[in-house]
Amino acid sequence: MIDLQGYGPSIAQGTLLTINVSLTSLAIATVLGVAGALAKLSGSRVLKTIAQIYTTVIRGVPDLVLMLLVFYGGQMLVNQLAYSVGYEDYIDINPYIAGVLTIGFIFGAYMAETFRGAILAVPAGQLEAGAAYGMSQIQVIIRILLPQMVRHAIPGFGNNWLVLTKATALVSIIGLDDMVRKASLAAGSTRMPFTFYAVVAFNYLIITTVSIYLLQWLEKKYSLGVIKN
């Protein structure tokens, strides 16, 4: 049994916060990803351009730099706007809000490409056949497009989720008490950095391993009845 010098509950609390940040960021990334994919596939040149700029810029700038830009740059912007309207008290941006919004915004760009590819993978002839059969556009989307899109999107979606989960470690640099920051504080107090960071690594491994099994189950579920070449 590993002796955590009484810091076990603190690490556990940080682990729960890490999972919370991961799931909330995933929800934001999914919404942005769907919106980005639809924008790229739309007939609007404006929407296509906005979506292209979004995915290109976000995927080209390191996650750490974006985290610092959003947290510190956003804080400066909010306070400048507050001063301009006569509000003199300093406003601190909540690290949790900054963290989940940044991670969600970053991975929304990757999700957009995942969903775009999944939509394009659905044969256009099937959508046309559904419309010819008398289905409304909503029925075609719900009964034909979505089930197949989900099946094609699961591998890429799962990969993005695994990377996103590990990327949550970045929130520790802006002061959020996730398990990485908790481990860092414990390591500094006990001079046992290897022990605490090993526990964090093991916790991440458990989260990603459970995720992989769940994703494999989903992939099998959505592949039922599909003939593989």
Q: Where are the domains of the chain?
A: 10-222
pLDDT score for 143 = 83
The residues of the chain scoring below 70 in pLDDT are 1, 224-229
Which residue bears the tokens 């949550």? 168
- Of the CA atoms within 13 Å of residue 26, those in its CB half-sphere come to 17
- Predicted TM-score of the model (pTM): 0.88
Contacts of 200 (CB under 8 A, 6+ apart): 11, 179, 180, 183
CATH number of 10-222: 1.10.3720.10
Round to whole Å and give the CA distance between 100 and 23.
9
3-class DSSP state for residue 178? coil
- The pLDDT tens digits for 23-55 are 999 999 999 999 999 899 888 899 999 999 999
- The pLDDT tens digits for 72-96 are 888 888 888 888 888 877 778 888 9
